[in-house]
Amino acid sequence: MLAEFLSPLFNGLFSAMVVFLFATGLTLIFGILRILNFAHGGFFMLGAYLAFTLVRLIGGDMSIASYLLVSIAAGIAVGFCGLVVERLIFRRLQHVDEAYSLIATYALLLISEGAVKAIWGVSFHSATTPSALGSAVVVGDLVMPVFAIFIIALGVLCYAVLEWILQHTAVGKLMKSLASDPWMAGMLGINVPRFYAWIVVIGFFLAGLAGGLLLPNQTLSPNLASVFVVQAFGVLIVGGMGNIRGAFLASILLCVIDSYGSIVFSQVPGIFFYVAMAVMLLARPQGLIAGARL
């Protein structure tokens, strides 16, 4: 009885934090640079594959600590890719029509998929969950996998850290200022291009980190790049176009609604994410948190 009601909530929160972890880097880059990075999923996938290779190299069962370290290493490697991508591509997109951003980042997505195919092949791989996260917590008849609890906690932690940085640190205030008026920031002596480069690196780091963290939950194939992209774009839009808090709330709202919807209408699972998204956009076209960027 309890499980019937709470289990969709738990599953919804789990999907929500998966989507949110995926969407943070995307949201950050969009919030500050106003570039919608279609390649985000490609670099998320690259992070997952890199983490997969590291796990293989280490061998045996992983502790939680090494799982986290592997994910951070994947994040750093993808962050370096971000540095190159910023130099070669994003820097050139600042002063051109948005259509070019779309084409350029889509091309980058194809390149990242091609790179993954070339390095790891097209066959499917899967990583095992660290055994410390492999069990489940049972409350009454509600079964909660520890890995899912762990991801929910990581998602909330990731949100809390980003929110704290944005609201309470000098760097966060600078980020919000640059997001709202980069032109004036330049007039005041702030090296805006270098700041943008850092944001891209951090956004890519978050993509790679998410790839590593969500690896135990995924089947690795070159399709992984597009698994979360549509949901992440939905969260970005419903959240208010580049607002971290909005993205967090939108992830929870859409995924929990979807989770309950899929129980009630089990013939069409997954469709309620989009129904909820459409309703939200009709009700609040400006997004959950409008006006304030980041």
Partner 1 sequence: MLDVGPLDAFYGDSHIVQNVSITIGDGEGVAILGRNGVGKSTLFKSIMNGGPRVDGPIRLRGEDITGLPSFARARRGLGFVPEDRRIYPHLTVAENIAMGGHAARADRPPYTLEDIFGFFPLLRDLQTRRGFELSGGQQQLLAIARAIYGRPDCLLLDEPTEGLAPVIVEDLARQINAFRAANGTACLIAEQNVRFARTCTERLYLIDSGVIVFSGTWAEFDAQADLQQRYLAV
Query: What letters, b where the CB count within 10 A reaches 16 and e where it falls short, cover 50-73?
Result: bbbebbeeeeeebeeebbbebbbb
User: Count of residues binding partner 1 (CB under 8 A)?
Assistant: 17
Q: How far is the CB of 194 from partner 1 (least distance, A)?
A: 9
Q: Pairing state of beta strands 142-145 and 136-139? A: antiparallel
> Token digits for 257?
């609604």
Q: How far is the CB of 179 from partner 1 (least distance, A)?
A: 10
Between 155 and 182, whose beta carbon lies closer to partner 1? 182
Between 190 and 281, whose beta carbon lies closer to partner 1? 190
Phi, psi of 125 (to 5 degrees): -130, 155
Q: Does 190 bind partner 1 (CB under 8 A)?
A: yes
Q: Which of 191, 219, 223, 286 binds partner 1 (CB under 8 A)?
A: 191
Which of 7-15, 38-46, 147-155, 186-194 is the region at the interface with partner 1 (rule: CB under 8 A)? 186-194
Residue for token digits 């890995």?
147
- For 165, other C-beta atoms within 10 Å of its C-beta total 16
Q: Which of 177, 198, 217, 281 binds partner 1 (CB under 8 A)?
A: 177
The beta strands (E) that lie in 105-190 are given as: 125-126, 136-139, 142-145
Which of 32-40, 61-69, 70-78, 175-183 is the region at the interface with partner 1 (rule: CB under 8 A)? 175-183
Q: Which of 4, 98, 141, 181 binds partner 1 (CB under 8 A)?
A: 181
Q: Does 57 bind partner 1 (CB under 8 A)?
A: no
Residue 45 to residue 90: CA distance in whole angstroms = 20
Interface characters, 118-157, with partner 1 (x: CB under 8 A): ----------------------------------------
Q: How far is the CB of 190 from partner 1 (least distance, A)?
A: 5
> For 192, how many CA atoms within 13 A lie in the half-sphere containing its CB?
18
Quote the crossing angle between the two packed helices 40-58 and 229-239, to the nearest 10°. Answer: 130
Q: Does 87 bind partner 1 (CB under 8 A)?
A: no
